[in-house]
A = this chain, B = another copy of it.
Amino acid sequence: MQATAVVTSRPPMKAAALPIARVPKPSGTVHSPHDVLRTIQPVGVVSSYDRGQGIFREGDGATHWYEVVSGVARTCKLLADGRRQIGEFLLPGDVFGFEVGDTHTIDVEAISPAAITRFSRARVRLLVECEAGLATQLQQLAFETVSKAHARLLVLARQTAQERVVSFILEMARRLAPHDDTILLPMTRQDIADYLCLTIETVCRTMSDLKRERLIRVPSPQHLVLVDRDSLEDMVGT
């Protein structure tokens, strides 16, 4: 009965730091399927969540889709042995809540104060029946989710601990600070470990190795600086 990565007793009202705002889309080129949601925007309702608060839980009715407006969330699956698997980190612009059946099969929780838009599945379906093009666009959104899951599968299945950590750093650099080499991580080391299927110790050790090799700097645990992005990218064959 190992209980490694149990969710820490969540402080529900600990509103705090790290108000991560919507990254302004590269205006002009609007090719992202995410922009589908602009079409159905009128159907959306925005809510605020505190750090650690759940948006929905496994078993809840899957009546809505969601989009992150600001802040960061994580999708979690609690395993039978008490460990936790983080499916993805949800950043502003990300859409989530797709389900086959009528109930959610994962938990989603805010890891920083967050604003999240809720879209009624029923209402979206009505919209789809009016606007033919919308169906194809939503399909693209779903395919994109499939594609991401497969990419993640390759990382977790085939990469070493070091490659996983580097993949993670590069992913976060791309998503959190596209035009900068300094990133402020909204998640804890335990979150990273549960995301990469490693132990917290291995994540720490690997980051220390990267620091020692002068590939990154770590001014504080949440603060990462990419010193040699090219070498990092070479390590994961990007």
Contacts and interface: CB of A to CB of B under 8 A. Distances in A.
Contact of A143 (B77, B98, B153, B154): B98
Contacts of A144: 100
SS class, residues of chain A in contact with chain B: helix
How many copies of this kind of chain does the complex include? 2
A142 B146 contact: yes
Interface stretch (A15-23, A44-52, A130-138, A216-224): A130-138
Given A85-B157, A100-B147, A128 B136 contact: yes
Contact of A145 (B79, B106, B129, B146): B146
Contacts of A143: 98-100, 142
Contact of A150 (B87, B125, B197, B237): B87
Nearest to A106: B150
B128 A132 contact: yes
A80 interface: yes
19 contacts: A77-B154, A85-B158, A87-B150, A99-B143, A100-B140, A100-B144, A100-B146, A105-B147, A128-B132, A128-B135, A138-B139, A139-B139, A142-B146, A146-B146, A146-B149, A149-B149, A149-B150, A153-B153, A153-B156
